[in-house]
Amino acid sequence: MGHKKIDKQMKQIEDKRSKDRIFKKDSSFLKAEENVFDVPTLKLLYTFSNKGYIHELGGSVSTGKEANVFYATGEDGEVAVKIYRISSATFKAMDPYILKDPRFTHIRHNRKDIIFAWTQKEFQNLLRIQKAGIRSPKPIICDRNVLIMQFMGKDGISYPLLKETQLDEEEARLIYAQVIEAMRCIFVRAALVHADLSEYNILIDTEKMEPVIIDVGQAVTLNHPNAVEFLIRDVENIKRFFKKYGISEETKDLLKRIKQRTEEDDNFSAEPEEETEGQKNETEEQENETEEQEIEKEQDSNNALK
């Protein structure tokens, strides 16, 4: 989309306060991220800004296959803003994780709906994982293709990936034990399987030597037909990474450990909140020409989440 068109549409929705706050500093930001910031996404960022979730949008933290992550500050302190690209060419890869998830069987199978449902799913999964007592970003709000969560890091620098962290053998053992315990809690307490767990989706708080689990959009409930297959793959990934530190356990023993319940687990419920903060439709009014269809669609996908 050309800049002229964006500028024109921006004028219509201009809100001085949020405009000054978010975009005054760096208009090249917009240009560079044109791909991410389509007009509805920009409007949504304005809305989040007006509501105080974002005071200042900072730099890019990551550009992934489907989503970009930005650093921002807001009323909740440092936050990470994950924006799924509607134009993402690889969205097909999401299908097996979402279309067979019983929570999402009713969504319409078009690109935008899948991406919106995916964002909701990541928000819900983060909530469940948080409630299970696992260190992970606290979800703050989500709508459409944008998810705002706690920033895991300090002063704008995110914790390093497990992949990038130098560990001695003792530290590796410490992290390994905590990762396996996190997998157990995800399974037993949150009733989920991460389904993309590896050294790329675990951050390390090097001060506390604690792992932080991220990127849970694809996590599936235990009744997903491929849940066990995904769990085995997660276990194999973790085993492969820690092998170089001389850690090796049989897959079957690990699976047994991960499925083991303790009495303490009974204090944690797997069910998500009745109506989560993130499911509010902040911007239903934004696409006037298709407003009714949009609302209907969003209601459909919200119904599918209940």
Residues that bind Mg ion (CB under 5 A): 201, 215
**Judged by CB under 6 A, does residue 153 bind ligand ADP?**
yes
Yes or no: say if 85 and 36 are a contact pair by the CB < 8 Å rule: yes
Q: Which does 151 bind (CB under 5 to 8 A by kind): Mg ion, ligand ADP, none?
A: ligand ADP
Contacts of residue 173, defined as CB under 8 A and 6 or more positions apart, other chains included, come to 245, 247
Q: How far is the CB of 200 from Mg ion (least distance, A)?
A: 5
- Of 54, 67, 146, 227, the residue at the interface with ligand ADP (CB under 6 A) is 67
d(CA 207, CA 222): 33
Answer for which of 158, 165, 279, 283 binds ligand ADP (CB under 6 A) is: 158
How many chain residues touch ligand ADP (CB under 6 A)? Answer: 19
State the residue number with the nearest CB to Mg ion: 215
Helices within 205-281 (DSSP H only): 227-243, 251-259
214 binds ligand ADP (CB under 6 A): yes
The number of beta carbons lying within 10 Å of the beta carbon of residue 68 is: 18
Q: In the bound complex, which residue of the shown chain has the CB atom lying closest to ligand ADP?
A: 64
- Annotated active-site positions, please? 196, 215
Examine residue 204 and tell whether it contacts ligand ADP (CB under 6 A). Answer: no
Our CB check for ligand ADP shows the closer of 146 and 254 to be 146
Options 63-71, 110-118, 220-228, 230-238: segment touching ligand ADP (CB under 6 A) = 63-71
Output b/e per residue, 269-291; b: 16+ Cβ within 10 A: ebebeeebebbeebbeebeeeee
Rounded to a whole number of angstroms, the minimum distance from the CB of residue 183 to ligand ADP is 17
- CA 248 to mean position of chain CA atoms: 30
Q: 258 near 232, Cβ under 8 Å? A: no
* Edge-first strand listing for the sheet containing 77-84: 56-63, 67-74, 77-84, 146-150, 139-143
Which of 36, 61, 183, 191 is in the footprint of ligand ADP by CB under 6 A?
Answer: 61
Contact positions toward ligand ADP, by CB under 6 A?
61-62, 64, 66-67, 69, 80, 82, 137, 149-153, 158, 161, 201, 214-215
